[in-house]
Copies of this chain bind each other. A is one copy, B any other.
Amino acid sequence: MSGRRALTRNQALVLEVLTRADEPLSAYAILDRLRDEGLRAPLQVYRALDKLLETGEVHRLDSLKAFVACSHPHDHPCTGLVAFAICESCARVFEFSDSAIEARFAAWAVEKAFLTKSTTLEISGICAACRSSADGSNPSD
């Protein structure tokens, strides 16, 4: 394996909570779910998140101030530009990449001589499942 590295206990706990969750969680929501495991302070969560963000195992959704586990197989890092579509109704997040979008951003950057370090691409709206269930209720419930 390439990007895989041993997780510390706290990192493993945080990643597990995020992986189980079917919606983005705030750091404090993560903390609440880990009280039983002995976690008591926000910093324990934020430290774990920092590492997981570095390795790409977790993503932060700036528009929600919340975190999600990467939806990719993740024995390898998340490469290239990543975008997220966030359903306002069921809170599910759809992670995707699009090389055409990536190329277009790259072209803009070249044209403007802008050195890109990181990108935040988030779309908010209503997912297909929620649209087809007329009442907007969560189709998975």
Task: Tell me the A residues contacting B by CB distance below 8 Å.
Answer: 62-63, 85, 87-88, 94, 96, 98, 100-101, 104-105, 108-109, 112-128, 131-132
Contacts and interface: CB of A to CB of B under 8 A. Distances in A.
A121 B121 contact: yes
Given A85-B114, A94-B112, A109-B123, 9 more contacts: A85-B109, A94-B114, A100-B104, A101-B101, A105-B123, A109-B125, A112-B127, A113-B128, A114-B128
Contacts of A122: 62, 119-121
Contacts of A85: 108-109, 112, 114
A131 B114 CA distance: 8
Contacts of A121: 119-122
